[in-house]
Structures are given as C-alpha cells and as structure tokens.
Amino acid sequence: MTDQINIENIIGLVRQQEPNRQDLIKALQNCTGGQWTSKCYYRFVDSTNANQVGAEWQFEENIVLEQENEGDIVLDFLKNGEIGGIEFLSLLD
C-alpha cells in the first residue's frame, strides 16, 4: 500500500464512466489531506458520528467506478459535495 493515491487516475475514470458528473470531478480535484484508515479505505473527511446532526460526514451516495484489471473503486459522496473517502475493493480480503 502506498501512502498516497492517484487522484488523477480516479478523475479519468469518472470522465469515462460518469461524464455528466462534473460535481464528482470538482470534488476529487479538491481532495486534500487524506489518509488510509484501513488497508482498502482512503478517507478525506472525518466520519466520527457519521450522518448525525453536527457531524462533518453527511452521506449522499456511493459511486462505483469499474476497473477490469485494477478492481472497482467506490466513492463516498457527501451532501456538501465533498468526497468523504474512497474504497479500493481489490484491497479487501
């Protein structure tokens, strides 16, 4: 596992698979300060008390990006237009 993820590759997948989702591209371009919270999940937004009043993490939807060779990726898209985190399914046990 590397310390950083390649956001540009993920943006490329969004452009291919969800070309009308400029909100996702913008959200990915604004992702900073992420960290691995498990071997398959890279988090950008604190998920403490997720979806509760006052919590930073307010879930909106999951976006699945398919990759035949590298494994699918799931984006956690939040109500405020941020990417909460990215799950790399190929890294699951």
The pTM of the full predicted model, rounded to 2 decimals, is 0.91
Angle at 69 between CA 27 and CA 5, to 5 degrees: 35
Tens-place pLDDT, residues 51-81 = 999 999 999 999 999 998 889 999 999 999 9
The count of other CB atoms within 10 Å of the CB of residue 30 is: 12
Is 1's pLDDT higher than 50? no
d(CA 14, CA 66): 10
- pLDDT tens digit sequence for 22-53: 999 999 999 988 999 999 999 999 998 999 99
Model confidence band, residue 2 (pLDDT cutoffs 50, 70, 90): low
Retrieve residue 39's tokens: 């071997």
Domain boundaries, the chain: 7-91
